[in-house]
Amino acid sequence: MASQLDQLRAHTTVVADTGDFRQLAQFAPQDATTNPSLILKAVQKPEYAPLLAETVAAHRGVARDEIVDHVLVRFGLEILKVVPGRVSTEVDARLSFDTAATLSRARRIMALYEAAGVPRSRVLVKVAATWEGIQAARVLEAEGIHCNLTLLFAFAQARACADASVQLISPFVGRIYDWHKKAAGAQWDEAARAGVNDPGVQSVARIWQHYKQHGVRTEVMGASFRNVGQILALAGCDLLTISPDLLAQLQASDAPVVPQLLAPAQVSPPQAELSEAEFRYQLNEDAMATEKLAEGIRLFAVDAGKLDALIDAAQAA
């Protein structure tokens, strides 16, 4: 019997969610995603310390934010040696409410990849799914720079991303689950809210069904998983980005995997685009999404600051 990981590949594109490129080969993912927290985690490992030191040394005297982008792209280049598909590299979360700055950083990240001989088709620039980030992605997509809109928790975010014709969105399953579990407190019933009844799973399934129903070409990639059950409940989603620990669990099991997401038989006309006011109001009405988006930006910003500090220390050495 094939492993659950191999069975999942028959229904969904498997993506590895890690900056640790030495782990990738054993799971044979199609793509890989990174974020500031994952890169920070990787550069603190002894085996990656030389990579950070070499990159910093090669760009002494350059502004720190540019060195950061060189480090991110260096990891991306190593990842692309292992995966046959795409790598996602994230714009600094501290720019999440600045469209112009997001555009500048995204263009620089892509220019660094192109200078290394990597075609645009193999890179997704990750941008937070704020209104400002989504508008930056609209411009980037028109320029042929494909985007992965991250920190996505609300249906309004997914609709606005579709309006902007972004390549891919990453709705967060685990963080939605975390919020609902915390909000329910002692009333939370883990068994009753597992699998297809998990609130994070339900959010992604709703977005996926809406996209298929209205002929939206944007890819849906479920992200931020807490357990294998959440992954299996989204079998059939366009893509799923999975941590190495959960990939290992899927690889170790041969229990059957059954597709859970099935496309509608008929496609409806596209919906009218959301205005900025509608987007902001609908996001505001979703307490979970509002809180988790703000928290996610803050957490990524903290880790971006820690990466800055490591780079400063390497420059001073």
Per the structure, the count of domains in the chain is: 1
Structure confidence at residue 316 as a pLDDT band (50, 70, 90): confident
Q: How far apart are CA 240 and CA 226, in angstroms?
A: 13
- Collect all residues with Cβ–Cβ distance below 8 Å to 264 and sequence separation of at least 6: 209, 212, 213
Q: What pLDDT digit, counting tens, does each position of 262-315 carry?
A: 989 889 998 999 999 999 999 999 999 999 999 999 999 999 999 999 999 999
Chain segment 70-110, per-residue pLDDT in tens: 999 999 999 999 999 999 999 999 999 999 999 999 999 99
- What is residue 66's predicted lDDT score, i.e. its pLDDT? 97
Burial (0-12, 13-18, 19+ Cβ within 10 Å), 85: middle
Q: For residue 242, give the amino acid letter.
A: I
Domain span including residue 172: 4-316
Q: What is the CATH number of the domain that holds 285?
A: 3.20.20.70
Active-site entry in 126, 182, 292, 306:
126
Over the stretch 58-70, which tens digit does the pLDDT of each residue have? 999 899 999 999 9
Which residues partner with 130 through β-bridges?
A: none
| pLDDT of 10 higher than 90 | yes
98 Cβ contact partners less than 8 Å away, ≥ 6 residues apart: 132
Residue 306 designated active-site: no
Position 8 scores a pLDDT of 98
Query: The whole model's pTM is what?
Result: 0.97
Backbone angles phi, psi at 123, to 5 degrees: -130, 135
